[in-house]
Amino acid sequence: MTVHIANDAEGMKLALEWAAKGLYTTSPNPRIGCVIVRDGRVIGEGVTQPAGQDHAEIQAMKDAQRRGHDVRGATAYVTLEPCNHHGRTPPCSDALVRAGLGRVVAAMEDPNPLVAGQGMARLAAAGIEVATGPMADEAHEMNIGFFSRMTRGLPWVRMKTAASLDGMTALHNGQSQWITGPEARADGHAWRARACAILTGIGTVKADDPQLNVRAVDTPRQPRRIVVDSRLDISPSARVLEGGGTWVVAAVDDPEKEAALRAAGAEIIKLPNPHGKVDLPALMRELGRRQINELHVEAGGKLNGSLIRERCADELLVYLAPMLLGDAQGMFSLPPLAHLGGKHSLKFHEVKQIGADLRILARFTTQ
């Protein structure tokens, strides 16, 4: 079916649809889509490939060539400014200049200091008409973690929890399977899949022995698994360590335990704070340094509360089930407040029904 592009908004909407095809695959690079249009007709389409492979612009030009189209004078819609530096691949801006594109429209300027407007400037200097801005908000959402890492040096931290309408995540005996329905659980796995890493605490590992991987949706790669374990209490046989590559974040030295965990394929990261616990803000900085764009947290109330108190969480992904559990385990272990001025304020970003349950995406606001 031939798609007719009547304006820049339609062109960018299609480019964003292509960017979404890279939701699970492009990290640590941003998810970028590109479509090339001539006389309202799409002649080439592409999405950024896994790190070290073609970016979206190159894919779209190759697609046009395979279809027998000449891209000279055509318009390229790309969801993020074309890169202008040598990384694992050559600059896309140079490739667009060599190909003779007539116009390049980007949704947003690249926040990477190595690009930051230079890509569009390179195109303009070569006589290519440039524009920036269509569907910028949607493009930012697509790469919210990449923008966070580039501008703050920190991953975008999304804290997921499932609870009853009265805010309970499990009974006092720990029973929690299943509070939410199958649709919500599958949706939660889709959010896991888009993350670069999944973080939990030793309490959850001891209580549930989770695999902490993606199972309910198809994904070409599994996120990194991270366990916050101040005293290195995790068992080398814990399922979260299966397959290797798990990062265990500790606050103590214990050569014997460390050796056993390394033999199980884990890496030990030591980040103690003055109280003998893991320094959570330091951990976020370390994850940014390790190119983690989106961090998905699935932990118990204690670690959830600590992350919130330390201002390490950016948003909550809450699934509410239509039930009441009464006095049980809550979502967040937070101290009582003496006055409302100490509250943690959020704003609702999205509310959607998933199966029988309600999904709320709420973002912390600056206080």
Q: Provide the annotated binding site.
A: 55, 83, 92, 162, 176, 178, 192, 204, 208, 212, 215, 230, 298, 300-306
The secondary structure element, H or E, covering residue 207 is: helix 202-208
Q: How many helices (H) and strands (E) does the chain have?
A: 11, 16
State how far the Cα of 137 lies from the Cα of 139, in Å rounded to an integer. 5
How is the beta sheet containing 315-321 ordered, strand by strand? 267-270, 247-250, 224-228, 197-201, 294-297, 156-164, 315-321, 357-364, 346-354
- Told to judge if 57 belongs to the known catalytic residues of this protein, a careful annotator would answer yes
Tell me the binding residues for NADP(+): 162, 178, 204, 208, 230, 300-306
Q: Which of 10, 45, 57, 294 is catalytic?
A: 57
Tell me the binding residues for Zn(2+): 55, 83, 92
3-state DSSP assignment of residue 45: strand
- Contact criterion met (CB below 8 Å) for 120 and 97: no
HSE on the CB side for 274, CA within 13 Å? 0
Partners of residue 267 on adjacent β-strands: 247
State how far the Cα of 268 lies from the Cα of 248, in Å rounded to an integer. 5
Query: 295-309: buried (b, 16+ CB within 10 Å) or exposed (e) per residue?
Result: bbbbbbbebbbbbbe
Tell me the binding residues for substrate: 176, 192, 212, 215, 298
Residues with catalytic roles: 57
